Amino acid sequence: MEYSTGGQTAAGRYSQLQSTKSTFLREAKESSKLTIPSLIPESATGTRARIKTPFQALGARAVNSLSAKLLVALLPPGTPFFKLAIDSLALLKEGGGQEGLETEIDKGLRTIENALMDEIEISNDRVAMFEALKHLIVAGNVLLYLTDKGLKVYPLEKFVSKRDEVGNVLEIITKESVSPQALPLDFLNQIKKKDNYDEKTMDQELDIYTYIKRVNDDHIWYQECKGEKIPGTDGRSKVEVSPWILLRWVRIDGEDYGRGYVEEYRGDLISLESLTQAIIEGAAASAKVLFLVNPNGQTRAATLAKAPNGAVREGSAADISVMQVNKAGDFSIALQAMQRIEARLEYAFLMARSVQRDAERVTAAEVTMMANELENSLGGIYSILTQEFQLPYLKRRMHMLVRSGKAPKLPEKLVKPKIVTGVQGLGRGNDRNKLIEFIGTVSQALGPDIMRQYMNVDEAIKRLATSIGIDTANLVKTQEEIQNEMEAMQQQQLIQSLGPAALGSPLLDPKNNAQAQQLAEETNAEQEV
């Protein structure tokens, strides 16, 4: 495989790209201090270091709220965020176009969609993605690694990357620390032979570097430790189905890394932090009550301090005074400024709960409304995520489903995954709404009789069922079942009209149903006369 790093080891290349990342990492740590300090700690150590908690909690609430809204919109629970669309022109070229064929293919695709959604539902992807979104909002960058074992999240401090001038990812290098016991024994024996690598050194955790490089339309990767390539760690995949998905929040031309959303509102967060600290410390000072005793008076301080409540002691009330800080007016000004800042931040981070309900499942309409709110408020960031996360994630999940044998490989020319977002709605709900609107318009404009004359009711029912993911097998009657029921009804009418004499009549033969129906109608007319 083509693993050229310019004559450097993966560790050397990581150190070289680290200098470019340092500025972005520093900004990310500053944003983390004002929101969720544990997300990107100031100093990473092997043991849990004491993390300074900010005085205000709005920053953490804002990040968690926006992350939750993005998660529901990107990976809505119980609602497909995608559809497998048929290319009608390609289907015609392949010899398709028969009546009802596209609907039958769509029913099969719906089955694959359900299988894919089941895989997503039972995975830990939503849990990992929630953590990834918080990193994306705060740090502006996050790396995802999707395999059969689940979705793994790499924060900015654990990877470096290189992009070309249009933003395509060229290189990614991750850095992790693992126990020596996690490495192959033969490889451990190999690196022990190198100079300065004694038994004491080998008891410590080792740095593992994963080098990912784009070569034409492929991603290739391997792992390295102590400057040596680890056997059995080679990997290769097409870029469109690659397990490595690198995300960024705000894209700036010429930069290898993105900018976080928190960075744009750090000024308000800094002001809110200072005001909150001042009010908390001022309130603590105001709450402190001190009793002052005149040193030249008759009352002794010790007598006052040791006296229980309700006790009788000798002394003079004139010798005692109470000292308090009276700064309520100053606090009110600070509180007003805080409220204005909080209102701006709540608006910026979409903390108003007018769209999302407290429920385990949300409707397609709610997801669509939330997608619209995200799109309108975040200036297209949500649309970027649909292209840079949803589509690669979906293609990777489909690839894994086919590879496991749970779904057939779909022809790329005929079927393509489609992410439906924003105004258009999410999933197949938009198709359903359009179909219902069309049927209602035709019925209202031309009347139900004309509609039944020109519209294929059976096809309409199938398409409606497919649009909401319902399997029509044994639920909707087939044309054969409908025909049999009509024939049975005609025979029953004939028996009722002619009486017992009709039991042996050849008119009960299904082949003579038309004649039997005519005779029944004539008999009913004579009885009425």
* pLDDT above 90 as % of the chain: 34
The strand ranges marked E within 63-128 are: 82-86
Tokens of 505: 């009549």
Give the mean model confidence (pLDDT) for residues 326-344: 84
Tokens of 150: 């689940």
Helices then strands, counting H and E runs in the chain, come out as 19, 13
Cα separation, 520 vs 499, in Å, equals 11
Question: Is the pLDDT at 207 greater than 70, yes or no?
Answer: yes
116 close to 136: Cβ distance less than 8 angstroms: no
Question: Is the pLDDT at 246 greater than 90, yes or no?
Answer: yes
Query: In the prediction, which pLDDT does 427 show?
Result: 44
**Res. 424 pLDDT band, cuts 50 70 90:** very low
Cα separation, 493 vs 145, in Å, equals 68
Cα separation, 426 vs 77, in Å, equals 12
Cα separation, 258 vs 181, in Å, equals 36
Query: In the prediction, which pLDDT does 192 show?
Result: 78
Tokens of 297: 């008076």
Give the mean model confidence (pLDDT) for residues 42-65: 80
* pLDDT above 70 as % of the chain: 74
Task: Annotate 80-98 with three-state secondary structure.
Answer: CCEEEEECHHHHHHCCCCC
Q: pLDDT higher for 160 or 44? A: 160
Query: In the prediction, which pLDDT does 371 show?
Result: 65
Query: In the prediction, which pLDDT does 72 show?
Result: 85
Residue whose C-alpha is closest to residue 463's, from 417, 425, 432 = 432
Query: In the prediction, which pLDDT does 429 show?
Result: 52
Q: pLDDT higher for 162 or 509? A: 162
Tokens of 380: 């297209």
Cα separation, 57 vs 273, in Å, equals 9
Residue whose C-alpha is closest to residue 152's, from 134, 128, 171 = 128
CA 391 to chain centre: 12
Query: In the prediction, which pLDDT does 425 show?
Result: 44
Question: Is the pLDDT at 507 greater than 70, yes or no?
Answer: no
67 close to 378: Cβ distance less than 8 angstroms: no
**What is the tens place of the pLDDT at every residue in 130-169?**
999 999 999 999 999 999 999 999 999 999 999 998 889 9
Question: Is the pLDDT at 375 greater than 70, yes or no?
Answer: no
Give the mean model confidence (pLDDT) for residues 46-51: 60
**What is the tens place of the pLDDT at every residue in 266-324?**
999 999 999 999 888 888 777 777 888 888 888 888 887 888 888 888 888 888 888 77
Query: In the prediction, which pLDDT does 466 show?
Result: 63
Residue ranges covered by each domain of the chain: 10-264, 266-307+315-341, 429-467, 479-528
Residue type, 438: F
Task: Annotate 38-77 with three-state secondary structure.
Answer: CCCCCCCCCCCCCCCCCCCCHHHHHHHHHHHHHHHHHCCC
**Res. 28 pLDDT band, cuts 50 70 90:** very high
Helix (H) or strand (E) holding 216: none
* Length reported for the chain: 529
415 close to 84: Cβ distance less than 8 angstroms: yes
How far lies 429's CA from each of 106, 334, 414, 434, in Å?
Answer: 14, 49, 22, 9
Residue whose C-alpha is closest to residue 393's, from 144, 130, 67 = 144
40 close to 156: Cβ distance less than 8 angstroms: yes
Which of 76-111 are b and which e, b meaning 16 or more Cβ less than 10 Å from the residue's Cβ?
A: beebbbbbbebeeeebeeeeeeeeeebbebbbebbe
Ordered DSSP codes for 225-294: ETTEEPTT--EEEEGGG-SEEEEESB--TT-SS-B-HHHHTHHHHHHHHHHHHHHHHHHHHHH--EEEE-
Query: In the prediction, which pLDDT does 501 show?
Result: 55
- Specify which residues 382 forms β-bridges with: none
Query: In the prediction, which pLDDT does 529 show?
Result: 43
Tokens of 242: 């690659």
367 close to 73: Cβ distance less than 8 angstroms: yes
Cα separation, 501 vs 495, in Å, equals 8
The strand ranges marked E within 347-467 are: 415-419
Helix (H) or strand (E) holding 30: helix 10-34
The per-residue pLDDT of the chain, averaged, comes to 80
Q: pLDDT higher for 39 or 100? A: 39
